[in-house]
A and B are shown apart, each in its own frame.
Chain A
Amino acid sequence: MTEWANVVVQGVLIGGLYAMFAAGLSLIFGIMRLVNIAHGDFIVLAAYMALVASTTLGLNPILALVIVAPLMAALGYVLQRLLLNRTLGDDLLPPLLVTFGLSVIIQNGLLELFTADSRRLQAGAIEVASIPIVPGIAIGVLPLLQFALAVAVIGGMQLVFYRTALGRAFRATSDDQAVAQLMGLDNRHVFAVGMALSLAVVAVAGVLIAVRTNFDPAIGPARLIFGFEAVIIGGLGSLWGTLCGGILLGVAQGIGAHVDPGWQMLAGHLAFLTVLAVRPEGLFPKIR
């Protein structure tokens, strides 16, 4: 019994990370109907940036965020202004294919610079510290911290979206681009800020993943898929739904892995496909 409770608890904790993969993805989809196929590769890019920052400057990996997050945000802004804004329009193909191209470019660029070796960020004693809850269940300090950070990031995004002028601009462009422009918003700028925010969230996710697991240039697409599954399970347009989606995915993977290690990923995908078959609008839909 405690064994299964433990599986669920660990699944919930990793679900926070998946929700963070998802939050950046659903943010830019909400604002400009763009699905960034390179999203997972940006997460890996952020992880490598944190690696470089912490090894060259001797920073604690979590502190490396202070450098990585602004850098990723700046990258997002420039990328959107120079490249991605040109792909937006009625046609689905250009944004998909351009971000697909970016994905291949980032993966192979990282491969060229860092080789295919697995890397990991050392965060010190915190890595193995844990808090015993009941006999048989202990919560790692790091996973708990990561979960709390994920909830904080999603809560923060929720605040930005519904309580600030910037959020109003996001929602206005999302509702009607032409009218938003008539009201004096510069869509190109709004989109670029949206992408900057998305990549800042990606930076947090990237640093967390770098501390938590081994990473190499090829793991990006799987992170994209986890984020995407969390978005669809949770329901489009709902950030808290996305958190629930991430948690459900994490628990499903945990249960799968407990039954048979080969079933970890498969169980997560099957949970996603089941939701898609039974409730295609997701569990907590906002957009009908």
Chain B
Amino acid sequence: MPGQARVVFMDRSSRIGLIVFVIALAVLALAPYWASRQVLRLLAEIYGYVALASAWNLLAGYGGLVSVGQHAYVGLGGYLLFALTMFAGVSPLWAVPVAGIGAAAASIPVAALVFRLRGHYFAIGTWVVAEVFRLMAAQVSALGGGSGTSLPAGIVIAIAAAREMREFLVYWTALAVTALVLGLIVGLLRSRYGLALTAIRDNEIAALSSGVSVRRVKFVVYVTTAFCTAMVGAVIFLQKLRISPDAAFSVNEWTAFVIFIAVIGGIGRIEGPIVGTAIFFLLRQLFADLGSLYLLMLGAVAIAIMLKAPRGVWGLLADRFMLQIFPLQRRIIQDSRITQERSHDIRQEASETTS
């Protein structure tokens, strides 16, 4: 008798993990009451990297779209925020999601172009797009051209009159955007697209032969990532209050660091970028004085991890101890009266399909 089957995401570790996560979120939301200004700024910066690395992880780790040009959308988000507030009179905080939507719209024709490049060449194609965005931003004289501009005082005051309140609001926006990005990614991965994406991650040909519209799924992922990345970019430059083409479209800050974070933490797992960001900031606090040597070291660490432990630090931990913080892994419970659970690993199924 074929029993009713249910798909279950939660397990014991993710139940505990989620509780810890929610508590952490609450503690962080109250940070303005317990943290100093410097700590608040550092935390907001950390949130930015968590969100950027998570978005890149969705794109490259799940979607197989290895982009080295995501700084295009960080910069676009920042510039859209400045343009929206200065020329359209949008309130600065509302400009953050609007900048995200604007960048998502811009990413549609970009995707149509860069998707023509296969695999490796796609990566460099995304970089060209970022260069084009940077050069075009430098041509906008109303936003200061190549030397950039500051957010006018009137707009800064529009966030909140008191400086302290302003910093709190920007901090909360940063936290909210990161929580939203993580929520969006978890939601996407739990949806039908998530199943298709996981299948693509594990074996693209197998996914294709199982009826997954690989192209459409990748398109959705690309546009979603652009939306997330641009919102983060908008928050980053709302905090900096100053923008210039070189800072907004910096390949080191918004792509190299982000990729290293994802690689070190663990590609293809949602917890990876969070762990990676923690390690990245720890290393930075310890070795930042070394300047360019520090970057050199970071590159070497990323290469070593890619070769020796391609699933990253979190991948090693999660496999060793069967951990998942976010309930993403699907398990099928066959029948309500049968207690036996069949662990249903999609990855195994995909590899069985090919062999």
Contacts and interface: CB of A to CB of B under 8 A. Distances in A.
Contacts of A265: 131, 135
B296 A93 contact: no
Nearest to B204: A90
Which 9 A-B pairs give the minimum distances between C-beta atoms? A35-B120, A104-B299, A108-B292, A101-B303, A280-B116, A101-B299, A105-B299, A108-B296, A108-B295
Given A35-B119, A101-B303, A228-B125, 5 more contacts: A35-B124, A93-B60, A101-B300, A104-B296, A269-B128
Nearest to A112: B292
Interface centre among B64, B251, B299 (most CB of A within 10 A): B299
A221 B251 contact: yes
B120 A94 contact: no
A277 B113 contact: yes
A208 to B, nearest CB: 22
B256 A104 contact: yes
Interface string A211-242: 00000000001101100110010000000000
B304 to A, nearest CB: 9
Given A29-B120, A92-B120, A273-B128, A100 B292 contact: no
A63 interface: no
Interface in A1-50: 29, 33-35, 37
B318 interface: no
5 contacts: A37-B123, A92-B119, A93-B310, A98-B307, A262-B146
B139 interface: yes
Contacts of A111: 292
A138 interface: no
B169 interface: no
A62 interface: no
B121 A228 contact: yes
A98 B117 contact: no
Interface residues of A, number: 43
Given A101-B300, A265-B131, A270-B132, A96 B292 contact: no
Contacts, number: 120
A272 interface: yes
Contacts of B232: none
Contacts of B135: 262, 265-266, 269
B68 A100 contact: yes
A102 B299 contact: yes
Contacts of A273: 113, 128, 132
Contacts of A102: 299, 303
Contacts of A266: 132, 135-136, 139
A178 interface: no
A228 B114 CA distance: 13
A67 interface: no
Contacts of A155: none
A86 interface: yes
A273 B123 CA distance: 15
A4 B299 CA distance: 45
B132 A269 contact: yes
A266 B133 CA distance: 9
Contacts of A37: 68, 123-124
A24 B132 CA distance: 24
Contacts of B124: 35, 37, 224-225, 228
Interface centre among B125, B128, B139 (most CB of A within 10 A): B128
Interface in A103-138: 103-105, 107-109, 111-112
B306 A101 contact: yes
Nearest to A91: B310
A98 B306 contact: yes
